[in-house]
């Protein structure tokens, strides 16, 4: 399906200190068909405007949580956002079908390499596994949850490497927008960017 | 009373009060007893500083009772009065009826003719509104079960005086002979009424029309008139208007043959919902207090000790009988109306005396020839003595009886009535206080608002706020606004000195109140902290910070970083205000400390910005992690 509208919910409490996310943002924030929504910038006091957020969600087909992985989870404001915006009777429950049929994934930067996020690694779980709470949240809301886009090993990453990841991120989002992602194939991979070429169609 | 003479009298009364009341209070006997003793001492039977004119003074000072009922009316919303109706008619009616019958029976037994016995019975059935309400208020019993019941009975008695005055001439026709005008229209102490010549139905019609007029004027006119007067911003004119209102209603009531006290009570009830109520209250209060004081002194001075000393046994016996008869009836009624033991004792002791209406009724009864002067005079002395003994009995009951036989029940306050007292008082509802008030209102926290700008009051009232007009720094207005029962007070006036003044008043009289104070600037914040206020809010501080945050954003800072910087700055600056407040009296230490503080702050903010030193947001920093990672690789 072409012309998919994408909403990036971005959360980074100290973007001025960020190396990876800053670049990722720069590549995608002005793309046509994509709404970039910076939560810490919009709500520095955490006073989330629920009806505005819900309206925004309703107007988009694909939702991306973009954030650094903090303690195997999202930064605080994204949790607050879930708690407040995904209301019973709107997002889930008997009457709650506002998000049904939408697609969602996380776009994450993680300090550790992929090897660290492994049964035998320091973190003992893959990123996909650690995101289970979000996956289940999406499931409960009737959202199709896809594997995450993960930039691993940001510690000590070279500028070139960062730009390559940013380019991948941009290609992925454009493909989603234009309906050129093989959704079923993408489910087979631990990360959307494990083998990007394999899931993008022409 | 001419100039010099008047001042001499005033001086004697004031001196007597100022000397005796503090002593009485000290001894735990209450102000009323102090006034009475003062009256006895300066009266014709004491050192004789005042003579027989005491009686005239007493008539004049009775106006204090009228004012007192006006004030009580102001406190009593019509809905609450309506809830009292059962008590008023049931308890009040039974008390007057039974006491009249019982005392009349005693009179018959003592050899009075039946008309005279009935007249004496009616007269002595009445209790003293002035004494009872003053004592109950002083002991803070007004809102208890006993207080409410006593009030209902007194109110019924006030109403009952009217038919009694009408009945006395009729009794006379059945008695010895008929003096007076004999036209059927009754007279009051103050003179002939307008309705004297009219037939009964027309009198009733006039009375109803006048009362309806008062109600309508109070409901629809008073607000606008009072607002117009308040706009002059001259407190004395408002006071004059308040006095004019009370005196006017009292005169009008006289003219149509109703009790002035009842009339002003009705006027008070009608105005109870008015937003100028607190101001009216605090304007009338001092006059009421002084007049009642004079009244009590005059009662003390009027006790005819010659008469008492010639027949000490008779008088004592009569006083004793009056007390016993009234007390027993009151106590039984209290039982019937399901009062607890404590409350019932207070109720019965409070109302067991004769009242000030006895002076009017006895003099009217002697004029009409219902009773003879020889019967009336000792009874007048009995009434005065019984009033004088009331504070003594109340004190004995409180100090000796209640602790022994009382049921130890808590003096329960009706929760409904507490609910009417709002937990938060906001003083000053201008550009500062209104924001506090609006947020609290939005969160359904009930507030009482005091505001001095009458135009402002009007606008806010139209917007649906419960705003009262008045100078919030006045102790009496704070009392009227319910400071006794409120939990905290927000001082948001724009006058620093007034706020400091209020802080002292509140700390002295209402130490339980948490104070939240607005400060115009740092020095004022220091003053408030010095005064012991912990919740101090510099009025431009948060706005300046917000402006700085927005400025930072516009020059490119991340919103969250600016926000956190401001929060950090805020906490740091608040700490410094508290720290420097203690130090500022030592000039040198202050300057050093202040400099150090500013440097600290600059340093921290700078380090934070440049990512050096100890960052506050280290949790989001990956530098150390990256270093560690680099070593491992």
Q: Does B38 reside within a domain?
A: no
Spacing of C-alpha A136 from chain mean position: 15
Residues B222 and B178 in one domain: yes
Dihedral over alpha carbons B29, B88, B358, B114 (to 10 degrees): -130
Q: Which among B403, B427, B447 is the end of a domain?
A: B403
pLDDT, residue B178, reads 40
Nearest CA-CA distance, residue B620 and chain A, Å: 7
Q: Does B28 reside within a domain?
A: no
What CATH number does the domain containing B487 carry?
A: 3.40.50.720
* Domain ranges, residue B448: 416-532
Residues B227 and B346 in one domain: yes
pLDDT, residue B144, reads 76
- Coil, helix or strand at residue B592: helix
The torsion angles phi and psi of B310, rounded to 5 degrees, stand at -75, -35
Q: Does B619 reside within a domain?
A: no
Residues of A in contact with B617 (CB under 8 A): 13-14, 17
Which residues, 6 or more positions from B509, have their beta carbon under 8 angstroms from its beta carbon? B475, B478, B483
Which residues, 6 or more positions from B333, have their beta carbon under 8 angstroms from its beta carbon? B91, B94, B95, B98
The secondary structure element, H or E, covering residue B540 is none
Name the token pair of B214. 């008062």
Which residues, 6 or more positions from B262, have their beta carbon under 8 angstroms from its beta carbon? B69, B158, B159, B162, B253
Task: Round to the nearest angstrom and report the end-to-end CA distance of chain A.
Answer: 12
Name the token pair of B437. 């008030």
Residues B307 and B431 in one domain: no
CA distance B625 to A111: 9
DSSP state of A60: -
Backbone dihedral region for residue A112 (phi beyond 0: left; psi -120 to 50: alpha; all else: beta)? beta
- A–B CB contacts, 8 A cutoff, strictly below: 47
CA distance A77 to A83: 10
Closest partner residue to B626 (CB to CB) among A41, A45, A155 is A155
Which residue from A57, A53, A75 is spatially nearest to A66, judged by alpha carbons?
A75
CB B144 within 8 A of CB B130: no
What CATH number does the domain containing B244 carry?
A: 1.20.1530.20
Q: Averaged over A108-117, what is the pLDDT?
A: 90
Q: How many domains does chain B have?
A: 3
Answer whether B620 sits within 8 Å of A14, measured CB to CB. Answer: yes
Nearest CA-CA distance, residue B611 and chain A, Å: 9
Which residue from B352, B390, B298, B381 is spatially nearest to B35, judged by alpha carbons?
B298
Closest partner residue to B621 (CB to CB) among A17, A41, A42 is A17
Answer whether A44 sits within 8 Å of B621, measured CB to CB. Answer: no
Which residues, 6 or more positions from B261, have their beta carbon under 8 angstroms from its beta carbon? B65, B66, B68, B69, B129, B158
Q: Does B339 reside within a domain?
A: yes
Answer whether B622 sits within 8 Å of A41, measured CB to CB. Answer: no
- pLDDT under 70: residue ranges of chain B: 1-3, 28-29, 52-55, 173-193, 195-196, 405-421, 454-455, 608-618, 629-633
Q: A156 burial class (0-12, 13-18, 19+ CB within 10 angstroms)? A: middle
CA distance A183 to B301: 105
**Which residues on adjacent β-strands are paired with residue A108?**
A67, A150
Residues B127 and B218 in one domain: yes
CA distance B427 to B505: 13
CA distance B367 to B361: 10
Closest partner residue to B561 (CB to CB) among A14, A70, A154 is A14
Answer whether A111 sits within 8 Å of B611, measured CB to CB. Answer: no
Answer whether B561 sits within 8 Å of A154, measured CB to CB. Answer: no
**Which residues on adjacent β-strands are paired with residue A10?**
A38, A66
Between CA B284 and CA B293, with CA B288 as vertex, the angle to 5 degrees is 155
Residues B568 and B477 in one domain: no
Q: Does B107 reside within a domain?
A: yes
Interface test with B, best of A12, A16, A21 (most B CBs within 10 A): A16
Domain ranges of chain A: 6-199
pLDDT, residue B52, reads 65
Residues B394 and B492 in one domain: no
Q: For chain A, which residues lie within 8 Å of any Cβ of chain B, measuring from their own Cβ?
A: 13-17, 40-42, 44-45, 70, 111, 154-156
Q: For chain B, which residues lie within 8 Å of any Cβ of chain A, measuring from their own Cβ?
A: 549, 557-564, 611, 617, 620-622, 625-626, 629-630, 633
Residues B555 and B588 in one domain: yes
Name the token pair of B510. 């209402």
Closest partner residue to B560 (CB to CB) among A13, A154, A156 is A13
pLDDT, residue B617, reads 67
- Coil, helix or strand at residue B274: coil
**Which residues on adjacent β-strands are paired with residue A7?**
A35, A63
- Flag whether the pTM goes above 0.80: no
Nearest CA in chain B to A110: B622
CB B230 within 8 A of CB B469: yes
Residues of B in contact with A16 (CB under 8 A): 557-558, 561
Q: A11 burial class (0-12, 13-18, 19+ CB within 10 angstroms)? A: buried
Which residue from B605, B535, B595, B598 is spatially nearest to B568, judged by alpha carbons?
B605
Residues of A in contact with B630 (CB under 8 A): 155-156
Q: Does B277 reside within a domain?
A: yes
Name the token pair of B198. 């009219």
Residues of A in contact with B626 (CB under 8 A): 111, 155-156
CB A11 within 8 A of CB A67: yes
**Which residues on adjacent β-strands are paired with residue A200?**
A181
Nearest CA-CA distance, residue B601 and chain A, Å: 20
Which residue from B109, B540, B157 is spatially nearest to B325, judged by alpha carbons?
B109
Answer whether A155 sits within 8 Å of B620, measured CB to CB. Answer: no
Nearest CA-CA distance, residue A155 and chain B, Å: 5
Answer whether A14 sits within 8 Å of B622, measured CB to CB. Answer: no
Residues of A in contact with B633 (CB under 8 A): 156
Between CA B13 and CA B141, with CA B60 as vertex, the angle to 5 degrees is 75
- Coil, helix or strand at residue A189: coil
Residues B393 and B455 in one domain: no
Q: What are the helix (H) ranges across A73-182?
A: 76-85, 127-130, 132-140, 159-177
Residues B206 and B308 in one domain: yes
CB A87 within 8 A of CB A128: no
Q: Does B617 reside within a domain?
A: no
CB B150 within 8 A of CB B351: yes
Is domain A6-199 in CATH 3.40.50.360, yes or no?
A: yes
CB B322 within 8 A of CB B382: yes
Closest partner residue to A111 (CB to CB) among B558, B611, B625 is B625
Residues of B in contact with A17 (CB under 8 A): 611, 617, 620-622
pLDDT, residue B609, reads 65
Residues B385 and B425 in one domain: no
Answer whether A155 sits within 8 Å of B560, measured CB to CB. Answer: no
Interface test with A, best of B545, B622, B628 (most A CBs within 10 A): B622
Residues B477 and B391 in one domain: no
Q: In what order do the strands lie in the sheet with B447-451?
A: B467-469, B447-451, B424-427, B488-491, B514-519, B535-538
What is the value of ipTM here, to two decimals?
0.83
Nearest CA-CA distance, residue B551 and chain A, Å: 14
Q: Averaged over A86-115, what is the pLDDT?
A: 93
Name the token pair of B118. 């009935």
Residues B221 and B313 in one domain: yes
pLDDT, residue B310, reads 85
Q: Does B39 reside within a domain?
A: no
């Amino acid at each position: 399906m072409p012309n998919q509208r994408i909403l990036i919910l971005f959360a980074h409490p100290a973007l001025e200190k960020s190396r990876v996310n800053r670049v990722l943002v720069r590549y995608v924030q002005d793309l046509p068909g994509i709404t970039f929504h910076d939560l810490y910038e919009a709500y520095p006091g955490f006073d989330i405007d629920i009806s505005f957020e819900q309206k925004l969600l309703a107007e988009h087909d694909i939702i991306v949580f973009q954030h650094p992985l903090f303690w195997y989870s999202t930064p605080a404001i994204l949790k607050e956002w879930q708690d407040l915006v995904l209301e019973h009777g709107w997002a889930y429950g008997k009457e709650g079908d506002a998000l049904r049929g939408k697609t969602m994934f996380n776009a994450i930067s993680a300090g550790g390499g992929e090897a660290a996020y492994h049964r035998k690694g320091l973190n003992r779980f893959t990123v996909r596994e650690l995101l289970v709470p979000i996956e289940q949240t999406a499931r409960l809301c009737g959202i199709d949850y896809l594997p995450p886009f993960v930039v691993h090993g940001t510690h000590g990453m070279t500028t070139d490497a960062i730009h390559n990841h940013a380019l991948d991120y941009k290609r992925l989002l454009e493909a989603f927008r234009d309906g050129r992602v093989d959704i079923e194939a993408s489910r087979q991979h631990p990360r959307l960017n494990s083998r990007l070429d394999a899931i993008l169609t022409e | 009373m001419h100039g010099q003479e008047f001042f001499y009298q005033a001086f004697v009364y004031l001196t007597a009060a100022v000397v005796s009341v503090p002593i009485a209070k000290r001894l735990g006997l209450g102000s009323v007893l102090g006034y009475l003793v003062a009256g006895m001492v300066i009266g014709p039977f004491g050192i004789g500083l005042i003579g027989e004119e005491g009686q005239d003074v007493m008539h004049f000072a009775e106006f204090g009772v009228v004012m007192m009922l006006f004030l009580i009316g102001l406190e009593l919303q019509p809905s609450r009065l309506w809830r009292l109706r059962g008590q008023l008619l049931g308890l009040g009616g039974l008390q007057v009826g039974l006491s009249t019958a019982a005392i009349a029976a005693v009179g018959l037994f003592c050899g009075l003719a039946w008309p005279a016995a009935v007249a004496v019975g009616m007269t002595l059935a009445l209790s003293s509104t002035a004494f009872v309400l003053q004592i109950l208020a002083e002991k803070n019993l007004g809102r208890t079960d006993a207080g409410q019941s006593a009030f209902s009975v007194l109110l019924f008695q006030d109403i009952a005086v009217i038919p009694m005055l009408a009945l006395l001439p009729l009794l006379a026709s059945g008695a010895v002979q008929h003096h007076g005008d004999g036209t059927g229209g009754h007279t009051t102490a103050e003179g002939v009424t307008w309705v004297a010549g009219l037939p009964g139905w027309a009198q009733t019609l006039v009375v109803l029309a006048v009362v309806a007029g008062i109600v309508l004027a109070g409901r629809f006119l008073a607000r606008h008139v009072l607002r117009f007067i308040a706009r002059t911003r001259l407190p004395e004119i408002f006071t004059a208007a308040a006095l004019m209102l009370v005196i006017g209603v009292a005169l009008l009531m006289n003219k149509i043959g109703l009790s002035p006290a009842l009339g002003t009570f009705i006027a008070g009830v009608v105005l109870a919902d008015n937003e100028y109520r607190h101001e009216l209250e605090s304007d009338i209060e001092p006059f009421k207090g002084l007049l009642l004081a004079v009244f009590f002194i005059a009662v003390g001075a009027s006790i005819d000790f010659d008469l008492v000393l010639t027949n000490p046994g008779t008088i004592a016996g009569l006083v004793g009988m009056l007390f016993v008869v009234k007390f027993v009836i009151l106590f039984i009624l209290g039982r019937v109306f399901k009062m607890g033991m404590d409350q019932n004792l207070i109720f019965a002791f409070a109302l067991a005396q004769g009242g000030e209406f006895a002076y009017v009724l006895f003099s009217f009864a002697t004029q009409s020839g219902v009773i003879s002067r020889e019967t009336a005079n000792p009874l007048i002395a009995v009434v005065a003595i019984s009033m004088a003994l009331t504070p003594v009995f109340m004190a004995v009951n409180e100090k000796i009886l209640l602790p022994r036989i009382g049921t130890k029940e808590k003096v329960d306050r009706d929760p409904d009535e507490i609910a009417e007292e709002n937990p938060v008082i906001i003083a000053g509802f201008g550009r500062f206080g209104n924001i506090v008030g609006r947020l609290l209102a939005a969160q359904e926290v009930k507030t009482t608002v005091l505001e001095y700008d009458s135009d402002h009051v009007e606008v806010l009232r139209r917007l649906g706020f419960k705003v009262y007009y008045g100078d919030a720094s006045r102790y009496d207005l704070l009392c009227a606004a319910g400071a006794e029962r409120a939990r905290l007070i927000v001082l948001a006036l724009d006058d620093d000195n007034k706020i400091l003044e209020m802080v002292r008043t509140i700390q002295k009289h209402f130490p339980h109140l948490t104070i939240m104070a607005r400060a115009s600037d740092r020095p004022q914040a220091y003053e408030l902290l010095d005064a012991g206020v912990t919740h101090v809010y510099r009025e431009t501080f948060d706005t300046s910070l917000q402006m700085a945050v927005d400025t930072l954003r516009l020059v490119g800072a991340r919103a969250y970083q600016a926000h956190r910087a401001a929060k950090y700055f805020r906490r740091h600056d608040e700490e410094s205000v508290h720290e420097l407040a203690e130090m500022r009296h030592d000039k040198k230490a202050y300057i050093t400390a202040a400099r150090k503080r500013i440097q600290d702050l600059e340093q921290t903010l700078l380090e934070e910005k440049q990512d050096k030193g100890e960052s506050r947001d280290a949790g989001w920093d990956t530098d150390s992690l990256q270093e560690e990672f680099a070593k491992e690789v």
